[in-house]
A and B are shown apart, each in its own frame.
Chain A
Amino acid sequence: MAEKPTLADYPLAETAPDRIRGGRGKALDDLTMEAVLAGDVTVEDLRITAEALAAQAAIARAAGRPTLAENFERGAELVAVPQDLIMETYDMLRPGRVRDRRALMERAELFRRDYGAEEIARFIETAAEFYHRRGLVSD
């Protein structure tokens, strides 16, 4: 796919099947039935990558959908985050799970530090700010 895909590159699976890669680096074209039967394909190979999500974000932005693009960018940052951590963080963001703002701020920092997830970190920090204003968390 191009460095910064445009609307003309969509759908990526049709325009760049050789360059779209799964979670372990296999190209879309290599995910064949033969490879599946030989046991060379795992569920990890069927996972989307941060690069593909970034490409979809660029396409969404080009299509006039900036908020969708931002969601894809947050998603891109979560690709490498283990499932348990995602579910734990989701739970922390639910009402009444976390009593003080600091726990949320620390979680934001963890995303920033361990996963380079700047957007996610800012998103959690903004949540913490408004949760605090609405009394969902204390200082």
Chain B
Amino acid sequence: MEQIPQANRWRRYSDWDDRPLRLDRFAREDPANGFAAFSSPADPRPGLATEAGRVVSMDGVPAHDFDLIDAFIAEYHLDPDVAAEAMAMDSGEVARMLVDMHVPRETLVRLAHGMTPAKLADVVSRLNALEIAFAYAKMRPRKTPGNQAHVTNAKDDPLQLAADAAVAVGFGFDELETTMRVARNAWSNAVACLVGSAVGDWGTLFQCSSEEAEELKIGMAGFTSYAETVSVYGTERTFVDGDDTPWSKAFLVAAYASRGIKARCTSGGGAELLMGYHEAKSLLYLEARCLCLQRGMGVQGTQNGGIDGAPVTASISGGMREIMAENLLAVWLDLECASGNDARPTESEIRVGAKILPYLIAGSDLICSGFGSILKYDNSFNPSLFNGEEMEDFLVLQRDFEADGGLTPLPETKALDLRIRAVEAISAVLEELDLARPTPQMKASVVVASGSRETTTFSPGETARISEAIQTRGIDVLDVIRALHRRGFSPEAENLLRLVKLRVSGDYLQTSAIVRRGRILSAVNDPNDYAGPGSGYRLSDERREEICDIRDTIGQSEVLAAQAMHRRAEARRITYEAKGDAGEGTDPLDVVIGISPAFGLQLFQTTGGLNLSDVLRALIRGVEDGGARPRILRMHHTADTSFLGLTAAQMAGSGYGIGIQAKGTAVIHARGRMPHNNLELFSNAPITTLAHYEQLGRNAASFARGVPPEPVVVPTEGQALGARYHAQVALIHAIETGLTVPDRAPEEIEILFLGQKEKA
């Protein structure tokens, strides 16, 4: 009995269930429980009252009820000279100023100095995602965009850290950040990354994310140049739960300045939600508090935009827009913004690509505050939005949009050279300072390894002992510089010395400072001056060339070289003998196969990788098997499939013909039909097999005999064949069209299949 399917589910939902997207969980909006991106009933209305220069109430809270965050913002962020004017402005008008290229950045920065958190949130919440991205491009502090990498591995292996740091520098990252699987490996991680980062170039800033006191000590030893783990939160309870206050964090920020170490704070939507003290406020409002706090602290910048809270933020309606909005607040408040795009907020690659795009095209001080330059499993912070696996996707996005994401394609040979040099350099330092003796096997395994699962290297215990020795023996950056120099790594020693000298002048403590080509670039000497088309950051011709120079591009020379490889082999399989102008057939079983101008003359394989001799043989066999007689004509007047087929049909005694291009596109046509109204078409040459061509021949014969056949269906799996083949196709087709002669008549061709004495 025939089984009729039960209609209890449309199976498309099962297909959707299997997509990576369904691994993401989405939260319902629930402001009472903190799940609201842009607004919550508990958010205060913007407001500010002052008396004699003192704030007496802010955002609906009287001064005597201020919590520590309110108090800090009122004390250190709000500028009484601007506040009255700024708070009186219509939020919609300020929002329009943010996207008005005629309103200078400075005007808006000044107004922000006088705005409360609720006011700032009220303004940016009026912008849609496109407007936020545009305003971000205009408001970010430094003109030249940059990027930051995570360099970590699952074994805390110093050899691999050095190799990966060198590669990250090679890709052009402006900052590297490491952290450890085992906390006490902080010192060896720091030395290894630092040495690796000095291979090939100098000026990449480096941080080792660890416990506050230890991080400062590692910085004091000269191993690191910046810190960004100074976390702040938008509610007092979260702050106190995190074992800090605005004052303790601000003190720490001043301490970093006193040691000549660049610092930025960290905050991001969702942190308060994750830590349980959200006060039922929206993510954006809490984040506005965090950012006002940071400006008040006088920190130069912020790592902001979801950060560890990005996944929970992205689970909420409007979450990704909220992350963009908080980043806009950061730069509007004139803070350097390392704009998140780190913690991977989704399993969907489509959501990953969508997340990065606004930042890529708007630019950012540091587009990712941790692009995982290593493989996902090696990322000790957790996987990033982009990781080592997806590096080339990012590079191609830069090229697609001609947008500077701060990275540069790295040729394969150069990457290998950097890894070898870095592993040798860190090994020399470990030996010279009597910390460890890496074996040749260890070094070799690390150089070629894509990730730590492929390495044979130090045991966790050995690495911990290296780290402990660096700390207890008081080894500092000068010891490392001398060790490098003694062992012949003088360029690396020089690079490190230049780097540590940065802290003496403190130039890189200014807002948004990075080092490019040996020079400090910051918001002071490279300010964002966007004022519409033609202003702000533009790709120079040289930079555009760098970005566009990805590997394995093809051009006509590659296509011709590939075809030339097959020319000789085909010459042993087939000859095409021209017999002069062809006449119209009279035999009712005459089926013409019309081949294109370059077929077998300059082009020898289809895009499906089939030899043209085999394709022709299959077509001939099919026509013969179908009970008709094939005749081969070369067309000179066209290279178009439809016209190849139509002309073939017109020349055929049967009125039916096959047209085929060298790339493999084939058609059955009939005399008298409109050119593009064919009988059968193989448009997807790359997935067309010899069996398909043979059946096409059989079907043409069947038409000739007056028996309409079942059309041949070439099954497709939905591959993006255009992406895979259209570049070649266009180049190949240009070769065909280059050989066309408009008025030249079709030519009779005698085919000889060699070695088999088969004639057609």
**Contact call B505/A20, Cβ cutoff below 8 A:** yes
Is there contact, CB below 8 Å, between A22 and B504? yes
Shortest C-beta distance, B136 to chain A (Å), equals 19
Q: Chain B 314-349 against A: per-residue CB contact (8 Å), 1 yes, 0 no?
A: 000000000000000000001000000000000000
Task: Let me know if B182 is at the binding interface, CB within 8 A.
Answer: no
Chain A's nearest CB lies how many Å from the CB of B301? Answer: 10
Interface string of B208-227 (1 = CB under 8 A from A): 00001100110011100000
Q: Which of B236, B299, B490, B510 has the most CB of A within 10 A?
A: B510
Confirm or deny: B503 has a beta carbon within 8 angstroms of a beta carbon on chain A.
Answer: yes
Partner of B482, one of A14, A36, A81: A36
Q: State A95–B241 Cα separation when bound (angstroms).
A: 9
Judge if A43 is at the interface, Cβ distance under 8 Å: yes
Beta-carbon contact of A72 and B109 below 8 Å: no
In the A-B complex, the 5 residue pairs with the closest CB atoms? A71-B298, A75-B257, A48-B260, A78-B258, A127-B247
Residues 197-244 of B contacting A (Cβ, < 8 Å): 212-213, 216-217, 220-222, 236, 239-240, 243-244
How many Å lie between the Cα of A75 and that of B298 in the bound state?
11
Mask, A98-112, CB within 8 Å of B = 1, is: 000000000000000
Q: Which residues of B contact A60 (CB under 8 A)?
A: 510-511
Contact A90 B251 (CB under 8 A): yes
Name the interface residues of B6-31: CB closer than 8 Å to any CB of A. none
Give chain A residues whose Cβ lies under 8 Å from the Cβ of B509. Answer: 53, 56, 72
B216 and A11: CB pair below 8 A? no
Inter-subunit contact A31/B497 (CB<8 Å): yes
**Minimum CB–CB distance for B263 against chain A, Å:** 9
Q: Is B524 an interface residue (CB 8 A)?
A: yes
Q: Is the CB of A94 within 8 A of B243?
A: yes
A56 near B510 with CB under 8 A, answer yes
Q: Quick check: B524 and A94 within 8 Å, CB to CB? A: no
Instruction: Evaluate contact between A37 and B485: CB separation under 8 angstroms.
Output: yes
In the assembled complex, B567 has its CB within 8 A of some CB on chain A: no
Q: How far is the CA of A29 from the CA of B481 in the complex (A)?
A: 17
**Looking across the interface, which residue of chain A has its beta carbon closest to that of B504?**
A22
Q: Which B residues lie at the A interface, using CB under 8 A?
A: 64, 66-68, 71-72, 75-77, 79, 106, 109-110, 212-213, 216-217, 220-222, 236, 239-240, 243-245, 247-248, 250-260, 295-300, 334, 476-478, 481-482, 485, 490, 493-494, 497, 500-507, 509-511, 519-520, 522-525
Task: Name the distance in Å between B474's Cβ and chain A's nearest Cβ.
Answer: 10
- Which residues from 17 to 63 on chain A have a C-beta closer than 8 Å to any C-beta of chain B? 20-22, 28, 31, 33, 36-37, 41-43, 45-49, 52-53, 55-56, 59-60, 63
Cα separation A84 to B64 with both chains bound (whole Å):
35
Contacts of A76 in B (CB 8 A): 257-258
Given contacts A64-B110, A67-B296, contact A33 B493 (CB under 8 A): yes
Chain B hits for A11, CB < 8 A: 505, 507, 519-520, 522, 524-525
Q: A103 to B497, alpha carbons, bound, how many Å?
A: 42
B476 contacts A75, C-beta separation under 8 Å? no
Q: Contact at A13–B504, with CB atoms within 8 Å?
A: yes
Interface pair B298/A69, CB less than 8 Å apart = yes
Given contacts A64-B109, A67-B298, A81-B258, contact A123 B247 (CB under 8 A): yes
Residues of B within 8 A of A12 (CB): 505-507
State the Cβ distance, A100 to closest chain B Cβ, in Å: 16
Contact: A64 with B497, CB < 8 Å?
no
Q: Are B504 and A67 in contact (CB under 8 A)?
A: no
CB <8 Å contact, A46 and B222: yes
Q: A22 — which chain B residues lie within 8 A by C-beta?
A: 504
Residues of B within 8 A of A134 (CB): 67-68, 236
Contact between chains at A31 and B501 (CB < 8 Å) = yes
Residues of chain A within 8 A (CB-CB) of B247 are 93, 123-124, 126-127, 130-131
* A56 adjacent to B504 (CB under 8 Å): no
- Specify which chain A residues have a CB less than 8 angstroms from the CB of B296 in the assembled complex: 67
**B504 adjacent to A95 (CB under 8 Å):** no
B22 to chain A, nearest CB (A): 42
Within the complex, which residue of A10, A47, A65, A94 is in contact with B245, where a contact is CB–CB below 8 Å?
A94
Question: What distance in Å separates the Cβ of A84 from its nearest Cβ neighbour in chain B?
Answer: 10
- Set B220, B494, B505, B522: member contacting A83, Cβ < 8 A: B220
A74, B263: Cα distance in complex, Å: 14
Q: Is the CB of A89 within 8 A of B251?
A: yes
Q: Name the A residues within 8 Å of B295 (CB-CB).
A: 67
Are A52 and B505 CB-contacts (below 8 A) given A10-B510, A78-B258, A79-B258?
Answer: yes
Closest Cβ of chain B to A97, distance in Å, is 9
The answer to whether B245 touches A72, judged by C-beta atoms less than 8 angstroms apart, is no
Task: State A13–B217 Cα separation when bound (angstroms).
Answer: 25
Report the bound CA distance from A10 to B509 in whole Å: 12
**Residues on A with beta carbons closer than 8 Å to the beta carbon of B77:** 67
Cα distance A49–B503 in the bound complex, in angstroms = 10
Residues of B within 8 A of A131 (CB): 68, 245, 247
**Do B75 and A126 touch (CB < 8 A)?**
yes
Tell me whether B300 and A68 are in contact (CB under 8 A): yes
Q: How far is the CB of A111 from chain B (nearest CB, A)?
A: 11
CA distance A65 to B247 in the complex (A): 19
Chain A residues with CB under 8 Å of B519's CB are 11, 14
Inter-chain contact B257/A53, CB cutoff 8 Å = yes
Q: Any chain B CB within 8 A of the CB of A118?
A: no
CA distance A28 to B259 in the complex (A): 16
Judge whether B507 and A74 touch: CB under 8 Å. Answer: no
Bound: A126/B240 CA distance, A: 18
Identify 15 new A-B residue pairs, CB closer than 8 A, beyond the known A10-B524, A83-B220. A11-B525, A13-B507, A46-B504, A48-B259, A48-B505, A49-B504, A52-B506, A64-B106, A71-B298, A78-B255, A78-B258, A94-B244, A130-B247, A131-B247, A134-B67
Q: Report whether A47 and B260 are in contact in the complex, using a CB–CB cutoff of 8 Å.
A: yes
A36 touching B220 in the complex, CB below 8 Å, given contacts A65-B511, A94-B245: no
Q: A36 CB to closest chain B CB, in angstroms?
A: 6
A136 to B239 CA separation, bound complex (whole angstroms)? 13
Complex-state Cα separation, A37 to B510, whole angstroms: 31
What is the CA–CA distance of A74 and B66 in the complex, to the nearest angstrom?
25
What residues on B are CB-neighbors of A123 within 8 Å? 247, 250-251
Is B334 a contact of A20 with CB atoms below 8 Å? no
Shortest beta-carbon distance, A93 to chain B, in Å? 4
19 contacts between A and B (CB under 8 A): A11-B505, A20-B505, A33-B494, A36-B478, A43-B222, A47-B260, A48-B506, A56-B509, A72-B298, A81-B258, A93-B251, A95-B240, A95-B244, A95-B245, A123-B247, A123-B251, A130-B68, A131-B245, A134-B68
Q: How far is the CA of A45 from the CA of B503 in the complex (A)?
A: 10
Residues of chain A within 8 A of B511, CB atoms compared? 60, 63, 65, 68
Chain A residues with Cβ under 8 A from B110's Cβ? 64
Contact B481–A36 (Cβ < 8 Å): yes
Contact B497 A36 (CB under 8 A): yes
- Docked pose: A4 CA to B482 CA in angstroms: 37
The residue from B334, B497, B501, B523 contacting A13, defined by CB atoms under 8 A apart: B501
Docked pose: A94 CA to B281 CA in angstroms: 25
Given A67-B297, A95-B245, A134-B68, decide whether A78 and B510 contact each other with a Cβ distance below 8 A: no
Question: A68 contacts which chain B residues (CB < 8 A)?
Answer: 298-300, 510-511
Residues of A within 8 A of B258 (CB): 48, 53, 75-79, 81, 86
Q: Given A71-B297, A134-B236, A46–B213 Cβ distance below 8 Å?
A: no
Whether B507 contacts A95 by the Cβ 8 Å rule is no
Are B478 and A52 in contact, with the CB atoms below 8 A?
A: no
Q: Which residue of the partner chain, among B248, B257, B505, contacts A74 with CB atoms under 8 Å?
A: B257
- Docked CA distance A134–B65 (Å): 9
Give CA–CA (A78, B261) in the complex, Å: 13
The answer for the CA separation of A63 and B222 in the assembled complex, in Å, is 28
Bound Cα distance from A124 to B248, whole angstroms: 9
